[in-house]
Structure 1
Amino acid sequence: MKKSKWSLLLVLGLVLSLFLAACSGGDEGDTSEDTGDDSQNSEEGSSESQDVEQVFNLINRDTIPSMDSSMATDEFGFQFLGATMEGLYRLKDGEIVEGIATDHEVSEDGLTWTFTLREDAKWSNGDPVTAHDFVYAWQRAVNPDTGSEYGPYMMGDVIKNATAVNSGDAPVEDLGVTADGDYTLVVELENPTPYFESLATFGTFLPLNEDFVKEQGDEYATSTDTLLFNGPFTLDNWESTASSWELNKNPDYWDAETVKLEKMTYEVVKDPQVGVDLYEAGTIDRASLTADLVDQYSTHEDYRVTPEMTVFYLKMNQTRNEALANPNIRRAISRAFNKQGIVDTILNNGSIVANGLVPKDFYQHPETGEDFRSINGDLVQYDTEQAKEYWDKGLEELGTDSIELEYLGGDTETAKKMDEYIVSQLEENLPGLDLTLKQVPFEQRLDLDTNMDYDIQNAGWGPDYMDPYTWLSLWLTDGGNNKMGYSNEEYDNLVQSTGTELAQQPVERMDAFLKAEQILFEDAAIAPIYQRARAQLVSPKLKDIYVNSFGPTYEYKWAEAVATE
């Protein structure tokens, strides 16, 4: 996103990604797939849906980077994997419900989980879905030859021997997952993992049909023809660069009788105004609203605001530019831009300022019930005087009076406006800072992040499961999602202890998470910006779309189109 200087006053007249999701959020402010009534009126909807065409027409803010469950890392990929695939369990409004597994047992020491699988689940080519499909998929995800980011991230130090397998110190057959016959899956863990049931709903843990994947080779998951499905919908008319595609009801899904929707059409639309125009014309059924559009449509009968658990922040790469290896420079940057101005003016959609990492209303203290965010409070706030003090100290330590950095962001309209504003604020409040703004599509930004080819990056994260570890494990030394060179031994020890000696001590475990987050901001590893909400126009015909607080953001299995007046 190109270098530009302008003030908040100029932003006042202008308009608002993932994320990504689950994972990595999309471009800043991207609301991706918006949702209607998230769980209400199912009885009424059932009767109203009679004789109503069961089709949703939707938009997506970008292409789908990957439909390979071993390789997906972003909100869009996991969203469409969630719609077309099914793992051990599904999420329904954040609750865990039956998927391929009908039941499970846990050993007394918490280390062995035995899943009973249903015998009526099929792949879209007619093959049965078996325990062997899970074994192959999980082994593939941690096999170093695969090159998966999420395999070692999600399974390392959780599934027995996952780290050793991924590092090449053990064969993939040593991974702690085995098939006891076709319909019993046995999983051995490294340590008791309180959140493992919710973890097993995540996209990386989806099964794969080994014969099919190997038959497709390098072409696997690059188009509809090179994919198999075992979930409620199939992905049709899609290839890796497609700007439009369809989800159609999967007639071979084991619970197809529950699925009311026949089709969902998708078009990539990056411009919010275009989306609203399409909504007004009746072409699509939902549209995201940017700041000026919120002002215009906030009294519209179809206006909706939905809070999210996604948090956006600036990542500061400590390996590419020596200036960002200086803690005082990072501390200065994290305090030098007006976050309230961003949520009030650029977003204007219900998003709130973030002054920590773990979001508000995500996780409660196991003993007192107090919210994590309330306990730790504001760990870094907008403060230009303090920012200038840190800045001057950092410049002195570096022996310079100026710093040049590259700022990486997305290419949506809202992302551009937000990043131009942040760059302007940083340059205005930190004399001697010269930022070059680089604007790229979402998929390219993911590649640049993976290769650590950036200085500062506006990034986002949505939880993968309901536990603080999904946030705080991001910044472990050499972690798969760290990608900015941050390392602190005390932080590592605290976070890792939550999965080992503290795994079955919930109060002490919570204390370790709280302390780790404090250390993260003492080090100014990241600069939090906001916790996202979505403002949108939603057709009243959309019913029973569930919004999950982790994993795939939207669940359509129970959705339906109903008659409107």
Structure 2
Amino acid sequence: MDNKSTLKRVGLGVVSLASVALLAACGGGNKTAANKNEINWYTPTEILTLDISKNTDQYSALAIGNSSSNLLRVDKKGEPKPDLAKSVEVSEDGLTYTATLRDGLKWSDGSDLTADDFVYTWQRMVDPKTASEYAYLAVESHLENADKINTGEISDLSQLGVKADGNKITFKLTSPCPQFKYYLAFSNFMPQKKAFVEKEGDKYATTSKDQIYSGPYTIKGWNGSDGSFTLVKNKYYWDAKNVKTEKVNLQAIKKADTAVQMYKNGELDTANISATSSIYKANKSNKEAVPVPEARMTYIVYNETGSVASLANEKIRQA
């Protein structure tokens, strides 16, 4: 776990946010947003997609995790707690998980959010036609037939070990998976509405208008390629009364020193000062600098698409 030093001045008033990247802040007064119940935030790069099944990057997960919900949500202590589910029961042998949904759940368009929406998102994840890079998580969860469906051995998605019955979703595992409750809070397993996905087709989740939302916020103003969007409180979220911040304005700012200067100008409510040693040394004594623990794993992979000829050579990659 890294300790990232950040300049911060406001508090984000929601119950909890994304389990992958939290929009969490603390501190005293704020010259930009406190009086209008808005927060001005930033990411160091643009988000890439709002497709729950296909996303793999941290900042798209931040957008998805705040605009969507799962059966559970990780709390500030790192424990998975009820969100869209009012309870999740586990059998004594650890092979059956039964989630019971809260009453009256709605999508951001006002339509009913049902147990079938959770079944569909797991099916879409393992469907080889989706080509999800995170399908292996469903396989490694030991969900019944996830491996065989993902490899194409079984083509009938209904054979996957997740079923809906009224307001209950039942997951059948072939062997225990101690981390399974965390999958029930993970952004890539958040519900998706089959009818909406199929209606949108290739446009699905390519802009903020081509997605519907199940979480504390909806996303406005993302056209699929620009670096800015807004999180707007979702009135249909089951716990909307406890979402205190109405709007979070986000923009991509790639230069760390630019973000720090914008913070000092009152244009942002946070800025990372740990990006370079020079920025850190210049700002570490600022009375508003606070350490922020951040659990993450960063890695580099080779570009094997063929666009870099040398990297297509196995011996060069090994060297």
Q: TM-score, normalised by structure 2?
A: 0.84
1:252-291 correspondence to structure 2 within 5 Å: 252-289=236-273, 290-291=276-277
Output the aligned Cα RMSD. 2.8
Q: Could you tell me how far apart the structure 2 residues matched to 1:272 and 1:188 are?
A: 46
Match of 2:198 in 1: 214
1:252 and 1:456, CA in 2 relative to 1: closer, same or farther beyond 3 A?
farther
Q: Which residue of 1 aligns with 2:132?
A: 148
Partner of 1:114: 98
What is the match of residue 7 of structure 2?
A: none
- 1:244 corresponds, among 205, 208, 228, to 228
Deviation at 1:75, TM superposition (A): 0.5
Structure 1 contact 112–188 (Cα < 8 Å) conserved: yes
1:52-109 superposed Cα distances (whole Å, 9 cap, x missing partner):
3211001111111111000001111111111000011111212222111111222222
Residue identity matched to 2:137: M
Q: CA separation of 1:212/1:314 partners in 2, compared to 1, >3 Å: closer, same or farther?
A: closer
Q: How far did 1:116 drift?
A: 0.6
- Whichever residue aligns with residue 68 of structure 1, its letter is D
Distance in 1 (CA, whole Å) between partners of 2:238 and 2:110 is 11
The correspondence of residues 23-34 of structure 1 with structure 2, limited to 5 A, is none
Gaps of 5+ in 2: 1-17
Aligned partner of 1:308 among 268, 287, 294: 294
Task: Give 1:311 shift.
Answer: 3.6
Match of 1:36 among 9, 12, 25: 25
Tell whether 2:67 aligns with 1:81.
Answer: no
User: For the residues of structure 1 that align with 2:126 and 2:271, how far apart are their CA atoms?
Assistant: 38
| Consecutive aligned runs of 4 or more in structure 1 exceeding 4 Å deviation | 32-35, 452-457
| Matching of residues 379-458 of structure 1 within 5 Å | 448=303, 451=305
Change (3 A) 1:275 1:253: same
| Alignment pair present for 1:69 and 2:52 | yes
Q: Hey, what's the Cα distance between the residues in 1 that align with 2:19 and 2:98?
A: 26
Pairwise CA distance, 1:33 = 7.5
The normalised TM-score by structure 1 is 0.48
TM-superposition CA deviations, 1:481-525 (whole Å, max 9, x none): xxx98xxxxxxxxxxxxxxxxxxxxxxxxxxxxxxxxxxxxxxx9
CA distance in 1, matches of 2:298, 2:97: 35
Tell me the distance in 2 between the aligned counterparts of 1:220 and 1:199: 23
- What secondary structure is seen at the aligned counterpart in 1 of 2:229? strand
Counterpart residue number, 2:74: 91
Write out per-residue CA displacement over residues 188-213 of structure 1, whole angstroms, 9 at most, x where no aligned residue: 11210111111211112111111111
Alpha-carbon separation, structure 2, partners of 1:100 and 1:87: 6
2:36 counterpart of 1:53: yes
Comparing 99-108 with 212-221, greater Cα deviation is found at 99-108
2:11 corresponding residue in structure 1: none
Separation in 1 of the partners of 2:111 and 2:269? 35
Q: 2:107 matched to which residue of 1?
A: 123
Q: 1:83 to 1:153 in 2, by over 3 A?
A: same
Aligned-pair CA distance for 1:22? 8.8
CA deviation profile, 1:195-241 (whole Å, cap 9, x unmatched): 11112111121111111111100000011211101100010001210
Shift in CA distance, 207/64, structure 1 to aligned 2, threshold 3 Å: same
Does the 8 A contact of 1:55 with 1:262 survive in 2? yes
Contact 1:33–1:58 (8 Å) recurs in 2: no
Alpha-carbon distance in structure 1 between the residues aligned to 2:180 and 2:157: 21
Amino acid at match of 1:305: P
Give the corresponding residue for 2:9.
Answer: none
2:278 maps to 292
Alignment coverage as a number of residue pairs: 290
CA distance in 2, matches of 1:74, 1:452: 22
Structure whose CA Rg is larger: 1
Letter in 2 for 1:104: V
Partner of 1:178: 163
Per the alignment, do residues 194 and 211 of structure 1 end up closer, same or farther by CA in structure 2, a change over 3 Å counting?
A: same
**8 Å Cα contact 1:70/1:148 also seen in 2:** yes
Indicate the residue corresponding to 1:166 in structure 2.
Answer: 150
Change (3 A) 1:113 1:79: same
Letter in 1 for 2:168: T
Aligned-partner Cα distance in 1 for 2:300–2:50: 27
CA distance, structure 1, for counterparts of residue 209 and residue 67 of structure 2 = 14
Relative to structure 1, the CA distance from residue 455 to residue 291 in structure 2 (aligned partners, 3 Å threshold; closer, same or farther) is farther
Separation of aligned partners in 2, 1:110 and 1:273:
50
Matched ranges for 1:397-546 at <5 A: 448=303, 451=305
Q: Give distance in 2, aligned partners of 1:62 and 1:104.
A: 36
Of Structure 1 and Structure 2, which has the larger fraction of its residues in helix?
1
Tell me, yes or no, if the aligned pair for 2:19 and 2:185 is still in contact at 8 Å: no
Cross-structure match for 2:175: 191
Question: Helix, strand or coil: the match of 2:36?
Answer: coil
- In structure 2, the residue corresponding to 1:301 is in which secondary structure? coil
Aligned equivalent of 1:378: none
